[in-house]
Amino acid sequence: MTQTDPQAPAGAQVDSPGAQVTVPGGLLDLSAAFEDALAAIEKREPKTEFRGPSSPQLLPAAASAAVDEGTAAAPVDRPIPAAHAAQLAIAHNDLERARAEIDELKRSLGRASSEAAHGQADLASLRRMIARIEQDLPQQTARRLLEGLLPALDHLTTVSEYLMLNEPLTDHGRQAVEMLNAEWRRAQQRIALEPFDAVGMPFDPQRHEIIARVADPMHPDAIVLRQAARGYLHAGRLLRSAQVVVNAIGAVARPQRSQNDDL
């Protein structure tokens, strides 16, 4: 049985408990109202269209930077705070000092390299000099020894020649002197000592030492007339020059100066 509710709108029927309530328009009216509400919301909040990475101008700044990370942002001139400017000035001064120190170190390195090169050259020269000294040391020692023996050898030669020429010697005495001279010649050959005579030879300043000059027209000019001491070679090198008297034709004897001439 159907009952009528006095509070219900006109046209609405209220069934008994357990009966269904009928709404005018049904679900169609509810759907239309929901669409109208959505349309009103869309009018108040405009849509933002996202077109993808190809149109970043429609994106916000943060989204555009996220889409195109490889593109550098345009520089923006912003004022530098005073504290930062002071720090930059200090860093610039430190950089200039570091560059100056590096340049000074480079110059010092160049000077040290040059000094090292000169030191190496001096060391090489010193090594060559030491090598020559070591090579010449035995010969120099022998030369000094022979120079000390040459006066005794001169006396022995002079005495031997005098005995052979001026003294009446027996056969045994002559043989003894000849044997002594032969032993000396063999000894000189063993030590590479070679005597040479200058009498009758042209004057040679490399081998002869003038002790006097005479004018003898019977002989050519600059010829060795006499020899006070023979010369010697050691290993092919001059050990002692021959002391000679040289002929000087036309030479005028200089007068000897007295002590009164100096007053």
Higher pLDDT, 26 or 253: 26
Q: Check whether 33 has a pLDDT greater than 70.
A: no
- Residue whose structure tokens are 């930062």: 84
pTM: 0.45
Higher pLDDT, 119 or 65: 119
Burial annotation 15-54 (CB, 10 A radius, 16+ → b, else e): eeeeeeeeeeeeeeeeeeeeeeeeeeeeeeeeeeeeeeee
Q: Check whether 45 has a pLDDT greater than 80.
A: no
- Tell me how crowded residue 252 is: count the other CB atoms within 10 A of its CB: 7
Q: What is the dihedral of CA 145, 146, 151, 154, to 10 degrees?
A: 160
Q: Domains of the chain (ranges plus CATH)?
A: 192-252 (2.30.22.10)
Tell me what pLDDT residue 208 has. Answer: 94
- Residue whose structure tokens are 């120190």: 101
86-129 pLDDT tens trace: 888 888 888 989 999 999 999 899 889 888 888 888 888 888 88
Higher pLDDT, 90 or 2: 90
Please check whether residue 249 is in contact with residue 214, taking contact to mean a CB–CB distance below 8 angstroms: no
- Residue whose structure tokens are 């169609």: 28
155-194 pLDDT tens trace: 888 888 888 888 787 888 888 888 988 888 898 888 889 9
Q: What are the distances in angstroms from CA 100 to CA 86, 88, 109? A: 21, 18, 14
For range 140-163, the mean pLDDT: 84
Please check whether residue 154 is in contact with residue 229, taking contact to mean a CB–CB distance below 8 angstroms: yes
